[in-house]
Structure 1
Amino acid sequence: MAKATIYHNPRCGKSRNTLKILEEKNVENNVVEYLKTPPTFGELKSVVKKLKIKPEELLRKGESVFKENYKGKSLSDDEWIRAMVDNPILIERPIVIVGDKAVIGRPPENVLEII
């Protein structure tokens, strides 16, 4: 089995539960605490492509940064990616990537689709 990469926030219960599933299934993983080590523009663009979603669908719209700076705005895909790179708190979590597939761990059991 391929190694999994998880974009993880240890303060998030869903993220912790997703990581726990990976560990219980003995999946070797690379944990990226994306708030400490934000993805680059290219990395995030690749993640969005693997998720097969629009960048705007990866936004945490309940965050104050979103409400204060982006709510109601119509940005291009690249502009949304740039907003998340500049403000990683806006990135939905957790994201698990295995090879060329990715899922958002909401609910955490979504990870079972790709491992």
Structure 2
Amino acid sequence: MITIYHNNRCSKSRCGLELLEKSGKAFEIKKYLDDVPSEKELKNIISLLGIKPIELVRKNEAIWKEQYKDKEMSDSEIISAMVKNPKLIERPIVINGKKAIIGRPPEKILEIL
């Protein structure tokens, strides 16, 4: 099953969702701002993406700039910050089996469909 971690207020996320709809494949939508991923779930997503936690952070978000930008943080602390403030999670994230991708640009999603 394909899963998209989606924020409807984000144009890139809406474009990613549209690509999934056009693919004709079954998928589920996780509105991660309402249904915040747990630390365990976020660790799994990061592992599937093959990145470091800091690479999943939206560093231009006000929350990041005001509360975290200049702090020395461990991977675990970064993940905790994203769980506490899900707006910090880059979007959209699409998972297909054991593959995951950040849909920026949205067309990157096509690589794992």
**Structure-to-structure mapping, 1:42-81, within 5 angstroms:** 42-81=40-79
Deviation, structure 1 residue 73: 1.4
Give the distance between the partners of 2:91 and 2:22, measured in 1 at CA. 19
Deviation, structure 1 residue 36: 0.6
Task: With the length of structure 1 as denominator, give the TM-score of the two structures.
Answer: 0.96
Deviations 1:65-108 (A, max 9, x none): 00110012121111110100010000000000000110001000
Which of the numbers 80, 83, 87 marks the counterpart of 1:82?
Answer: 80
- Moved beyond 2 Å, runs of 4+: none
Structure 2 residue runs of 5 or longer lacking an equivalent are none
Amino acid at match of 1:27: K
Give the distance between the partners of 1:27 and 1:56, measured in 2 at CA. 31
Task: With the length of structure 2 as denominator, give the TM-score of the two structures.
Answer: 0.98
Give the distance between the partners of 1:37 and 1:29, measured in 2 at CA. 17
Q: How many residues align?
A: 113
Deviation, structure 1 residue 56: 0.3
Give the distance between the partners of 1:6 and 1:73, measured in 2 at CA. 30
Structure 1 residue runs of 5 or longer lacking an equivalent are none
Give the distance between the partners of 1:60 and 1:24, measured in 2 at CA. 27
Aligned match of 1:96: 94
Amino acid at match of 2:103: G
Give the distance between the partners of 2:79 and 2:54, measured in 1 at CA. 8
